[in-house]
A and B are shown apart, each in its own frame.
Chain A
Amino acid sequence: MLLSGAQIVMEELLAHGVDTVFGYPGGAALDLYDALYEYSDRINNVMTAHEQGASHAADGYARSGGKTGVVIATSGPGATNLVTGIATAWMDSTPLVAITANVASHLIGRDAFQEIYITGITMPITKHNFQVSDASEISDVIRDAFRIAHSGRKGPVLVDITKDATIAKVEYEPRKPMDLPAPLCIDASEAEKVAALINEAQRPLFYCGGGVIASDATDWIRRIAAKADIPVCHSMMGAGVMPHDDPLNLGMVGMHGTVAANRAADECDLLLAVGVRFPDRVALSPKKFAPKAKIVHIDADRSELNKNVKVDMAIRCDILQAMEMLHEGVAEASHPVWMAKLADWKAVCSRDCPEGDGLDPCSLIAKISELSGPDAIYVTDVGQHQMWAAQHVHHNEPKHFITSGGLGTMGFGYGAAIGAKLANPGKRVVHLTGDGSFHMNFNEGCTAAKYKLPIITVLFNNRVLGMVYQWQTQFYGGRYSATEPERLTDFPKLAEALGVKGYAASTLEEFEACYRKALEEEGPVWIDCAIDRHIRVLPMIPGGGTVEDMITE
């Protein structure tokens, strides 16, 4: 059939199971949006306030729903507004297809109105990108884009299409999506070696990350842990790998990780690092990380192996399949001495939240967890509230904690929460944010209001840029440079102005009352919670330090 390039884009989106896209129109994207108008019964375009919000929404949609997210933007500023969102997806390996329109091909390279070299700009933050100026190539390119985004280590792909290519009509034959390459299996002899190491170990430890979540290997990790009595710690991206109250769950490891997880990493004799990157926020001192352990690193991406930490055994393979094989190979075991040690460390509770009736981050999160039910999806922004959430939210399932780990993007949260809610209409979505982050993206309140998305935003409002403020307190002698913005923002009023319900709370009782009301709302709600600016995120290991440098009070 004879279709325009823009119609072919829609056909390919449908062929890849896409029914929701996030985006914003513009001059070069007129024909793409004209096609969306035609396909609006099958493809829902969620229009955000800002392209950055759309990119984070597509990311949150993908992270929480498991499908590739799609974002559409126009040329020039539309495309550059996606950059932070694409970089966020890149750092956390989220499958994303970003489609940008560009000026007509005869104008490319002439600095035309709203022309930007977006393929050049996004080269280092995409798995691959394409520029298409021929309508007959669109079908192949979109198919490739979905294949690349979703195979191996997942990640973002950008497709830039010139306006004339979206207009031109060419013959189009529908085809099935491309087969993903078969997962790379672990070598049987390597699996045996790892199993033997596990069976010999006295103090084994799992260190799991986003790769475990992305490859749906959580169940197998839990089974191996139970069978061979292996405690599990996780990176922030690995939250949900173990049920919250599982005795083998040590929680998060790293800069703001638990005492138990960091002590365990320091003392273990075998570290099973699965789907992780050993970043500077976990292996703060890469040469001294897990110093007593043989380290086995299993990851889908060979370039992660021996990148930050030199390991004893580096295995590139599909994680799901490897864990399945390992489960077979490991013997049932118990490590009572190791477990007793871990129990002692777990008993060391380190937090900076004051006791009492006031509103503090720890009791806020405990209350939210209690009221939101076990299946709620938590989406965060970046800063202190993010760390408190990573530490105190009761993570039970994978894909229920959506946060910008690698890039640490303030302003990620609201867009991502919108995406998460659209991917999971039946689930409660809670957006935890700080006043710094929220000032970067609260404009998406208009989006949540327009689409009547019952997302509850809990604003940890300490009226400072808390994380930087904490560092200035700890390491810069209290010289608070640019972290006390003294803003006059009235969040409940701002909420109302955007069509969002707004509440404020200054005690836990007030908060509970607001939150209970919020749970009944059919649209978005913001709850502005006044918290003390002096409360720190603890424990903390300063950058470059080891567990011996841990600040616990």
Chain B
Amino acid sequence: MDTIQNSRKVISILVDNKPNTLARISSLVGRRNYNIETITASETHMPGVTLITLVVTDTDPDVLDQIVAHIEKLEPVREVHVMDSTGGLYRELLLLKVIVDKDARSSLVEIAEVYRAKIIDLSRSSMIIELTGEPSKLDGFMDLMSEYELVEVCRTGVTGMNRGM
């Protein structure tokens, strides 16, 4: 199972898309000394409504409850909830640029296949790999990649959705 259950919690926040909303949330998190791992903001199907997803490393229920209670008070916030650990689906996207030589190329292609990652750019000396999945899968992939000479890595941060209705 994925590591979200064990060491992280995902908080999903629906907000009105008003100026400074992301800044208000990150300011609050900073001020209250909560530890966040990632924060993402994205459009939703509702016009003027944005989804902000926070991944926090505090999993103490009292701390989580405090985070939710404080976020709830912000004026542009419509809805906040801590996502279900087991019923939730979480995805993150990773882009990675790695130096390739003849020897490395085939082993990288193999690893990419195992992870169902896509090679989206290939040149004589480098390769860009795209991988989508649960954060734990990305972590595992990164672990293998540590043996190679990496040029650049970026991860989007987690977004998630509860299963069913």
* A residues apposed to B, CB below 8 Å: 119-120, 123-124, 127-128, 131, 148, 301-303, 305-307, 310
- Contact call B75/A307, Cβ cutoff below 8 A: no
B-side contacts of A310, CB under 8 Å: 62
Chain B interface SS verdict (over half): helix
- Contact call A123/B23, Cβ cutoff below 8 A: yes
A-B pairs with lowest CB-CB distance, top 3: A303-B69, A128-B75, A302-B69
Q: How far is the CA of A303 from the CA of B20 in the complex (A)?
A: 22
- Contact call A123/B72, Cβ cutoff below 8 A: no
B68 vs chain A, min Cβ distance (A): 9
Smallest CB gap from A303: residue in B: B69
In chain B, residues 83-120, which have Cβ atoms closer than 8 Å to a Cβ of chain A?
none
Among A128, A148, A302, A306, point to the contact of B62 (Cβ < 8 A): A306
B162 at the interface (CB under 8 A from A): no
- Contact call A131/B19, Cβ cutoff below 8 A: yes
14 contacts between A and B (CB under 8 A): A120-B20, A123-B23, A124-B27, A124-B31, A127-B73, A127-B75, A131-B19, A148-B75, A301-B73, A302-B69, A303-B66, A303-B69, A303-B73, A306-B62
Among A119, A120, A123, A303, point to the contact of B70 (Cβ < 8 A): A303
Q: Are A123 and B73 also in contact (CB < 8 A) when A131-B19, A303-B66, A306-B66 are?
A: no
- Contact call B75/A123, Cβ cutoff below 8 A: no
Interface flags for B44-66 (1: CB within 8 Å of A; 0: not) read: 00000000000000000010011
B82 at the interface (CB under 8 A from A): no
A160 vs chain B, min Cβ distance (A): 11
B30 vs chain A, min Cβ distance (A): 8
Interface centre among B28, B31, B65 (most CB of A within 10 A): B65
A-side contacts of B78, CB under 8 Å: none
In chain B, residues 1-38, which have Cβ atoms closer than 8 Å to a Cβ of chain A?
19-20, 23-24, 27-28, 31
A263 vs chain B, min Cβ distance (A): 29
A83 vs chain B, min Cβ distance (A): 15
Q: How far is the CA of A228 from the CA of B111 in the complex (A)?
A: 73
A-side contacts of B70, CB under 8 Å: 303
Smallest CB gap from A157: residue in B: B75
Interface centre among A128, A303, A307, A310 (most CB of B within 10 A): A303
- Contact call A120/B69, Cβ cutoff below 8 A: no
Q: Are A119 and B65 also in contact (CB < 8 A) when A124-B27, A128-B75 are?
A: no
- Contact call A123/B27, Cβ cutoff below 8 A: yes
Q: Given contacts A123-B23, A306-B65, list 12 more A-B pairs with CB under 8 A.
A: A123-B20, A123-B24, A127-B75, A148-B75, A301-B73, A302-B69, A302-B73, A303-B69, A303-B73, A305-B69, A306-B66, A310-B62
- Contact call A307/B27, Cβ cutoff below 8 A: no
Q: How far is the CA of A119 from the CA of B21 in the complex (A)?
A: 12
Q: How far is the CA of A307 from the CA of B65 in the complex (A)?
A: 9
Q: How far is the CA of A124 from the CA of B24 in the complex (A)?
A: 8
Among A119, A123, A307, point to the contact of B66 (Cβ < 8 A): A307
